[in-house]
């Protein structure tokens, strides 16, 4: 399975694993699965750190760079096809980052791993619910 981590799932996998369900942990640890992260999530983490909504043990940019190099993930590219798909993506809120994540899942055939109730109801993509 190809798993695209929602930003909060990626953060929890790195900082607060007890917030992940056993099913999500099993998915992340299964060597047959590919774990994907979008640059949109990198951007969201930078913003969260700037707004002091998350606390990291160092500045956000080097922290993210270290995590990307030390934890094996595939980069989900933000392509023209993904951008165009955002115009066809219907989700029940306006968060642009979520539109990019859903469009990325559609374009690359990825399963979105999330706890976001609104995203869990999105049609046209596969989702893996994080329920603790």
Domain 2-129 has CATH 3.40.50.1010: yes
Mean per-residue pLDDT, 113-126: 91
Distance CA 104, CA 64 (A): 20
Distance CA 5, CA 114 (A): 7
Neighbours of 45 (CB within 10 A): 24
Confidence band for 90, pLDDT divided at 50, 70 and 90: confident
Q: What is the pLDDT of residue 57?
A: 92
pLDDT tops 80 at residue 107: yes
pLDDT tops 90 at residue 58: yes
pLDDT tops 90 at residue 132: no
pLDDT tops 90 at residue 123: no
pLDDT digits (tens, 9 = 90+) for 15-31: 999 999 999 999 999 99
Mean per-residue pLDDT, 27-44: 97
Per the rule left: phi > 0, alpha: psi between -120 and 50, beta: everything else, 112 is beta
Break the chain into its structural domains and give their ranges.
Answer: 2-129
């Amino acid at each position: 399975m190809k798993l695209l981590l929602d930003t909060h799932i990626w953060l929890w996998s790195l900082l607060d694993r007890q917030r992940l369900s056993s099913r999500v942990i099993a998915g992340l640890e299964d060597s047959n699965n590919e774990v994907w992260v979008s640059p949109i999530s990198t951007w969201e983490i930078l913003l969260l750190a700037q707004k002091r909504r998350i606390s990291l043990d160092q500045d956000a940019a080097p922290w993210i760079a270290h995590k990307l190099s030390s934890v094996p993930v595939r980069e989900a590219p933000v392509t023209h096809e993904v951008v165009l798909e955002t115009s066809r993506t219907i989700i029940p809120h306006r968060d642009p980052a979520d539109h990019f994540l859903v469009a990325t899942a559609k374009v690359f055939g990825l399963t979105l791993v999330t706890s976001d109730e609104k995203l869990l109801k999105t049609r046209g993509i596969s989702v893996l619910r994080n329920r603790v």
